[in-house]
Structure 1
Amino acid sequence: MSRADAHEVYSVSRLNQEVRGLLEQAFPLIWVEGEISNLAQPRSGHVYFTLKDAEAQVRCALFRNRALRLRFSPENGARVRIRARIGLYAPRGEYQLIAEHMEPAGDGDLQQAFEALKRRLGAEGLFETVRKQPLPALPRRLGIVTSPTGAAIRDILSVLARRFPALPVLIYPVAVQGAAAAQDIVTTLALANQRRDVDVLVVSRGGGSLEDLQAFNEEAVARAIATSAIPVVSAVGHEVDITIADLVADHRAPTPSAAAEQLSPDGSALVQAFQQLRRRLIEGHRRLRDQRRERLDRVSRRLEAQHPGRRLQERSQRLDELELRLTRALRQRLDARALGVTNLAQRLRTANPGRAVAQHRSHCQTLTTRLAIAMRAGLTQRRGRLQENARALEAVSPLATLERGYAIVRHGDDGRILRDAGELAVGDSIQARLGQGTLDAKVTSIQPAPAKPDE
């Protein structure tokens, strides 16, 4: 199997057809300016030529129905401006321009006037968004300022008939081309604002050259649109045609059909919305009815349950029941109290206070005797222990040692007890405590202790 079999393979004719479709979809109508060359005008009435500038060229075709509208005779070397769509001539695989309109490039005077007026009105703020009026969501009546015999009115009415045929339309017939067209449009706009028969106006006409659209580039028309109290939609020419009316209007539609689309609600969508609302209303009504019926049944049951007669019967029965319970409780209480009195009398007879007093008196005498004996024995025992402790204390008391002829000698200056004669010097004062009294003395001589044998 070859690599080509694994991929989609185009024929030349199919390739050219698809490329032509892509070109026609990707590019809208465009304006192109250049010089005519290779002009050919066969007997069919079509016009074929090449449009070129200093660096490139492109083949062009102007078919008979469009060529008949030309207001001049094209010639080789003439500089022209064409409005065209891009296509592809499949037999030769060459892309070309299919001209819809051709005008001499000398129309630049009109273009210069257009640009000058655009700058001046723009400086005045007539194009600012803040001054534009909003469009009504659902117009009560639509006013159309256009030629009653032109293609624009047919397109608008066709779209309205398809989308929302119930929308009333009032046509204000005017001339849309020629010397008197601008004043006609101004007068009609003033009349519409005076009568107030509609709540939105569409100023419209079909496509054409810059000269054909000149009425919509007049300052008087622009100011009439700007001062209109009724919102104005400008739908002049094709999408590529931009007029002063488009810029100053409250809203611009690229075509008359688009204006009708934007201003008319979608009838089928409204029908669907109404049907949905109707279903919701029916469902809501049914749900509310069921809720109210359920509430009525609940209230009825409560009313029946709370009927005064029934409540009186229940209260009477409850009263009888309480009376029986009270009688029974009183009888039980009296019986219990009687039994309690009997038991207390029996216990009183059994527990005679005289016998208990005699028993307690005897027990008290016994305890008194035992207390006296215990006190004498305790005193004797403690007296003996005191004497023993006194003898033991006397045996170890330093005072007893002093009674046997010993003395406690202290230094006369600081009162410390002296244990070694070497701690004194001749002439030091000493104090000696004897068994009876004390005495003060001075050292006159010192006899050191004899040395121990092992030293």
Structure 2
Amino acid sequence: MSTLRYLTVSALTKYIKRKFDADPHLSGVLIKGEISNLKQPSSGHVYFTLKDQKTRISAVMFSSAAGSLKFKPENGMEVMLQADVSVFESSGQYQLYVKKMEPDGIGALYLAYEQLKEKLQNEGLFDQSKKRSLPPYPEHIGVITSPSGAVIKDIMTTAQRRYPIASIRLYPCSVQGENAVPSIIKALQTASEDSSLDLLIIGRGGGSIEELWAFNDEQVARAIASFPVPVISAVGHETDVTIADFAADLRAPTPTAAAEIAVPHIEEVRERIMSLQIRAGRAVTQQLQYKKQQLKKQADSIVFRRPGKLIEPHAQLLDRLNERLYRESAMIVQKAEIKRERIHERLIRLNPGSQIERKKNSLERLIDRLENTAAKKVNSDRQRFIQAAASLEALSPLKIMNRGYSLVFNESNELIKSSNQVKNGDKIKVSLQTADLICSVEEKLERDQNGEN
């Protein structure tokens, strides 16, 4: 009995992948379609889906290939690809491994140019408000270009012919090829360290868009825009427009035109200097004539002819002021003396010794009055006390009892005022002056109102 062999999923996927990789028709396939689901992580790889009206396929472009792109892929963009068709083992799906990519219907370089131009323009790098004016009479001009090309010769010839007193300093660089961008940036950095520069010209001769491409680089554009002195861009011919032209402060159609823009003509400068000399001479002459007229006018004035006339009114006023000052000073002194005397008199009146003596006399009088009043009060109160004591003694029951009267109380120690308060056999207490008697009622003998039994 034969044994069945089962493949694992991984083994089957690897087998299919080897079939794909071994098929020459699936290597270097030229294919076009629309980009969708575009993803560009920090790794530099590009992941997207390539689709047409009927189907779609996953695609990846690794950073090694994506770094050579001249444009920025976007969703919805129609592109033409050269890719290998293979299987991604982890998911078991076939996909495109892109080696090259071009926009469909428009050149990659032109698209990249337009994209970078729009980006920098939106940032404000090309704003006219940031453009600087060129110095009218530059002494030191820097030039960034190839040392072997005709550009430097044209610029030096034109500058020396028009303005020989200006010095030209070359900062050599490569203007095309793979090393052009870093070479141009290095030349810009070197030139920026020269504090004596008044102006910079950067440029090269004409050529194709590929040959001029170094001047469409973003780093070059930013370095030009941030350069410390004004920059003239002179790249290619008049019809060639690069990103560097927009980043510079001024664009010249050719390198020769850049030199003509950078420096004035020496004859024009001489004519201007002569014109200024003539104008200055005229201005000095007019100013001298005016000052002479002013001097003559002042010399003929009464101030210089009769200076005493100018002083006399002030002298008279000074005398009046002196007299007024003396008079008012005397009045102030007199008022001060009167005030001093008044204060002295007041001080005498308010002398503490006098005040104390007066207060002492007043205190003695008050003490005498207090003693007299107190004595009178004591005597008055003593007399009132004696009278009250006499009245109290006269009304005292003891006084009455001393005359033979007594007080009678019942068993409840209540004063008996009427015979109705007792009855036969009750115990009573008879209070005499010197003793109390306990008695018993044996009989009541009633009296009438006249006191008879």
The interval holding the TM-score normalised by the smaller chain is 0.3 to 0.5
Q: TM-score under structure 1 normalisation? A: 0.40
